[in-house]
Structure 1
């Protein structure tokens, strides 16, 4: 979670690194995903510091509005304080994430991903580790835990926990298909 300006700067640089961007600022036309992530991080910062001053409350309203508008235009429903630093959204398109889910550092998300709860309880949301690659169209729901360095294949339906580190998960319902997740050969999961 982002509480200080230093945290904000670290999160922004981690997101920029994850997206593979070398420029200082987003282009005026284009770089829509990067603009969304910047707005998301500022919204998180001002939300977590909303009681500091009246100016913080005004800026919170502005970034909340921008977050909503850009997210709606791109098809993202990603709430604040869910993703840790290093978020990589590969494409525009429908991405829905529950506000009670917790996702670690350097998560790689494709279009069509749905991360949500299964029942009525707020505790029934996924907890996902660091360096997880989530393929296009994957659905993760329920009170599950996904270990770090895992890959989730395209259109996988994950409704149970896989706490092993560095595995590949695919299928409907999801099952472990490999003990080794290869970060350089992810195209075979598409």
Structure 2
């Protein structure tokens, strides 16, 4: 969670690396001609988190209210329903399309998430999944309930994960999901540490 200006800048840098976006003098022109909407969304998400967590003064609160409106507008445009303070640094949203994430969910650093995914609570509960670091979530995956997932996990496309898996370095797949095999997450998330 972003707790300082330094954290905010670190999150932005790691998200940019995760999306493999290189910056140079041509970047503003490229963004004007062909904007990267997912990157714009992630920048707005991190800025919103910074103002929510760190800026308690009256100007910070007013600007936070303004940011929430802009954030909601781009969220609707891209089909994302993602609350602030859910994802750790190194987030890579790979495509726009429906992504719904419960505000009580927590996802560690270096998450790669595809379109048509859902991370949510189950059966009226307010408890949502707690997911570790270096996790790949394939398209159409559903992760729900009061569960915990370990580190270095890949979740296959169209899988339904409703039970905890504290094992590391595994591929989960199927509906209901089960461990398919052991994996090296570096093959799926090249920037994982």
- Given the two structures, how large is their TM-score scaled by the length of structure 1? 0.92
Partner residue, 1:104: 108
CA displacement at 1:30 relative to structure 2: 1.8
CA contact (8 A) 2:134 2:185 kept: no
State the partner residue of 1:31: 36
Residue 79 of structure 1 and its aligned partner are, at CA, apart by: 0.3
- Say whether residues 1:154 and 2:157 are aligned partners: yes
Preserved contact between residue 136 and residue 188 of structure 2 (Cα < 8 Å): no
Residue by residue, what CA displacement relative to the aligned partner does 1:71-123 show, whole Å, maximum 9, x if unpaired? Answer: 11000000000001010000000000000000000000000000000132322
Q: CA RMSD in A?
A: 1.5
Match of 2:97 in 1: 93
Distance 1:6 1:182 in 2: 28
Which secondary structure state, in structure 2, belongs to the residue aligned with residue 120 of structure 1?
coil
Unaligned runs of 5+ in 2: none
Q: Within the alignment, does 1:173 sit opposite 2:166 as a pair? A: no
Offset from partner CA, 1:106-151 (integer Å, 9 cap, x none): 000000000000132322x101000000000000000111110010
- What does residue 69 of structure 1 align with? 73
Q: TM-score, normalised by structure 2?
A: 0.91
Question: Is the Cα–Cα contact under 8 Å of residues 152 and 185 in structure 2 kept in the other structure?
Answer: no
1:9 counterpart SS class: helix
Q: Using the alignment, how far apart are the partners of 2:69 and 2:23 within structure 1?
A: 26
Q: Which runs of 4+ in 1 moved over 6 A?
A: none
**Which of 46, 49, 58 lines up with 1:44 in the alignment?**
49
SS at match of 1:83: coil
2:156 and 2:18 mapped to 1: Cα distance?
Answer: 20
CA distance in 2, matches of 1:133, 1:182: 8
Separation of aligned partners in 2, 1:44 and 1:185: 27
Structure 1: state its 5+ residue gaps: none
Does structure 2 retain, via aligned residues, the 8 Å contact 1:127–1:146? Answer: yes
